[in-house]
Structure 1
Amino acid sequence: MTTPEVLFVCVHNAGRSQMAAGLLHHHACGRVLVRSAGSAPADTINPAVVAVMAELGIDLSREIPKPLTTQGVHSADVVITMGCGDACPVFPGKRYLDWQLDDPAGLPVEQVRPIRDEIDRRVQALLADLVS
């Protein structure tokens, strides 16, 4: 059996997709290859996102926003979009999921925590589906 590969995509790759990638990497313990990207990457990760992930022992402080590439989408088994609209290329036979989530940009830590927790719930359900 091959290791499944998941790509999380949002606009800036500075919040939602970084949290999702960090959480899946943490929970999967090597059973899933995880990447994230943005259709218009920011310069840095949202500091509130780094803070709420650190609360769970997940360090995103060294992560950088990465650009979405056609090759990245092509190599993924599952592509999860989070508010990036039509920017993500679509390949036949790929599994695509669109997670409607609030954007944590500009929000304080107290308002980013519930977004993180919802992403964590979805990530754990995805992981159970991928490795079952």
Structure 2
Amino acid sequence: MIQTENITDAFYTASVGKRGRNDVKRELGSIDEEVEKVKKILISGTYRRAKKKTHIINASNAAHKTREIAKPRYCYDQVVHHCIVSQLKPIVTHGLYEFTCGSIKGKGQHYGKKYMHKCINSYKGKKIYILKMDIHHF
């Protein structure tokens, strides 16, 4: 997790969609120094996440529904998060159920929908029942 290449990749991965922001430009402008800072913090065990800012957003998929989201800071919270995830992802995803569809690259809602259509079509005219549900505040 503390290899220079991993931390550098984490800086760039965390910056996707944010590279126009001044704070991100500043960090990427002195990337070598920032990588060394993160490396020292992680090795010494002195990393503490900053307090997250909360925002209220309107959910795009439901009328009159709002959500409160916590937004971590780019530097260093999101960078450290990407460092950790890059190392844990192969371990965690290895044992997942084949049809786990949430928050996994390549296995989003379209993957789930495609699989459901395949199952439905395999019944070839037989009567089937399908329950679509959402767990409130899950």
* TM-score tier after normalising by the smaller chain length: under 0.3
Structure whose alpha-carbon radius of gyration is higher: 2
Higher relative contact order (CA 8 A, sep 6+): 1
More helix by share: 2
More strand by share: 1
TM-score, length basis structure 2: 0.21
TM-score, length basis structure 1: 0.22
